[in-house]
A and B are shown apart, each in its own frame.
Chain A
Amino acid sequence: MGTARGLVFPSSTLARTAPRTGEHDIVVVGAPVAATRLASMFLVGLPSAFALPLVLVLGGASGRDRDRLVALQAHCALPVHLVDDKDPILPARIHLAPADYHLLVEEDHFALSTEAPLRGARPSIDVLFESVADAFGARAVCILLGVDEDATGDGRAGAARVRARGGLVIVENPATAAVDAREPTGQEPPAATVLHLSEIAPFVSTLCEWEVT
């Protein structure tokens, strides 16, 4: 099962935080592009000392990446970087998926793909989450925002895969609390955690702080 042994830590990060010994190596956030506002609100809550790599995909995003990047950076204490193909996955920054490519992760770097859009979306949240499940398994934290604002259900199948591989899945929106009520029998994957939008950033930050102390 893949872990992020190959991750590179820039010296500026090392100076701020102790090496991590925690359970998670990556946080991946998916939101349909129609719910970009939710992603911004989530980013506002993240402290600048956040020490994990955070990947953000706005499902189905098209048009100008530059504008999106500037708008998100205005809400965020962490630096936001638009992903280039084969960029290393680095901690303490937001890696933003570029428009009109699928974004996937390998063990320690990103991969882009121009496979056809999936159910109309490129980038597809499902494609990213699926690759995160494969490469990071139980070491992944996966956050799905605005599921009710997207009729295609992009991200659900990928989140299920992350859960099946033992990763932590957080779903935004109180209306979807039913998600935990129907656990399959037999070997159960860890349940998805359903949180209100305002609770997610503090929750994730806490995970991170446990890991760095």
Chain B
Amino acid sequence: MTLEAHAPRADDADWGVEDLEIDLLLEGIARRYGSDLRGYARSALKHRLRGALDREGVASVSALQAHVLRDGPAMGRLLAALTTNVHGMFRDPGFYLTLRRRVLPMLRTYPFVRIWLAGCSTGEEVYSTAILLAEEGLSARVRLYATDLSEAVLARAKAGLYAGDQLETWAERYVQSGGRRALTDYLTVEPDGLRLRASLRDNVVFGQHDLATDRSFNEFNVILCRNVMIHYGATLRRRVHELLDESLCRLGILGLGSRETLRGTGFEDRYESLDDEGRIFRRLG
């Protein structure tokens, strides 16, 4: 085994320059395109940027900057690469089980329910939630608002077409989440993958929305923002929690990812936990 084969390129040697280049790139993107990634967690962003350098075939972040500031499609690709998150269907089955058993029964008492999936990425969570609502007989009076900052990513969410290699895992998680049928009832096998049934999208509204820069656009009974704010730095995360709090009705439900907490957000006392894992919260007052 040799470690040397993997050693960084010589031009990476000046480490401080890379940080400066990233600052300039993010500043440039914000001013040119309005997408503000400056508040993102720098460690993960850096990793994704290095991958983008390889894919775009450029040697430095500065070269990438020159490229994307003048080339809209290249910027679209970069934005998708920097922000796409891969969650799969029914990630954390326990979360969906709690939604099914504890949250949806409460929603039954409302004449109309709005759910916001903030940062829906490529849509697996949208379809998982839609399946849950269908099985619990709530589809007709629920509207799901699925938003993401990247148009390219949103297009994939709308298409609902996924590689088939995860089907076994997803089917298993679906059962663990309290699924009443077979996951395959909700999809068709096509030559290029699995396609979720179009009827699952009937009550879904897809829209472009950037949590870092855009304001609240409605009042919701439930907001699921799972594994989105992990990609933000502490300051941006606090600000987005404010935005979500403004967008949530009284006694509204907030769902976070399995390793996310309210610690350090300033909202610890404003919510009560509804599950043992402490990832589903109800807004107080």
Q: Would B46 and A147 count as touching, CB distance under 8 A? A: no
B residues less than 8 Å from A102 (CB atoms): 44, 47
A residues less than 8 Å from B4 (CB atoms): 160, 182-184
B residues less than 8 Å from A156 (CB atoms): 1, 3, 5-6
User: What range describes how many residues of B lie at the interface?
Assistant: 35 or more
- From the candidates B7, B230, B263, B264, name the one contacting A111 in the complex (CB within 8 A): B230
Show 6 A/B contacts (Cβ-Cβ < 8 Å), sorted by A.
A86-B234, A86-B264, A98-B259, A114-B231, A135-B43, A179-B1
Q: Would B85 and A114 count as touching, CB distance under 8 A? A: yes
- The answer to whether B199 has its CB under 8 Å from any CB of chain A is no
Shortest 10 CB-CB contacts between residues of A and residues of B: A157-B6, A104-B43, A160-B6, A113-B44, A114-B85, A131-B43, A111-B41, A160-B3, A85-B230, A116-B86
Q: Would B43 and A105 count as touching, CB distance under 8 A? A: yes
Q: Would A169 and B237 count as touching, CB distance under 8 A? A: no
- The answer to whether B100 has its CB under 8 Å from any CB of chain A is no
Q: Would A1 and B15 count as touching, CB distance under 8 A? A: yes
A161 vs B257: C-alpha distance in the bound complex, in angstroms?
30
Q: How far is the CB of B32 from chain A (nearest CB, A)?
A: 24
Q: Would A115 and B42 count as touching, CB distance under 8 A? A: no
Q: How far is the CB of A83 from chain B (nearest CB, A)?
A: 7
A residues less than 8 Å from B259 (CB atoms): 82-85, 98, 101, 112
- From the candidates A86, A117, A164, A182, name the one contacting B2 in the complex (CB within 8 A): A182
User: What range describes how many residues of A lie at the interface?
Assistant: 35 or more
Q: How far is the CB of A98 from chain B (nearest CB, A)?
A: 5
B residues less than 8 Å from A25 (CB atoms): none
Question: Which of B8, B50, B237, B261 has most A Cβ within 10 Å?
Answer: B8
Interface residues of B in 42-92 (CB under 8 A from A): 42-44, 46-48, 50, 84-87, 91
- The answer to whether A211 has its CB under 8 Å from any CB of chain B is no
Interface residues of B in 1-28 (CB under 8 A from A): 1-8, 12-13, 15-16
A200 vs B222: C-alpha distance in the bound complex, in angstroms?
50
- The answer to whether A125 has its CB under 8 Å from any CB of chain B is no
B residues less than 8 Å from A83 (CB atoms): 259
Q: Would B2 and A104 count as touching, CB distance under 8 A? A: no
A137 vs B264: C-alpha distance in the bound complex, in angstroms?
27
Q: Would A179 and B2 count as touching, CB distance under 8 A? A: yes
- The answer to whether A192 has its CB under 8 Å from any CB of chain B is yes
Q: Would A176 and B1 count as touching, CB distance under 8 A? A: yes
Q: Would A106 and B257 count as touching, CB distance under 8 A? A: no
Q: Would B3 and A115 count as touching, CB distance under 8 A? A: no
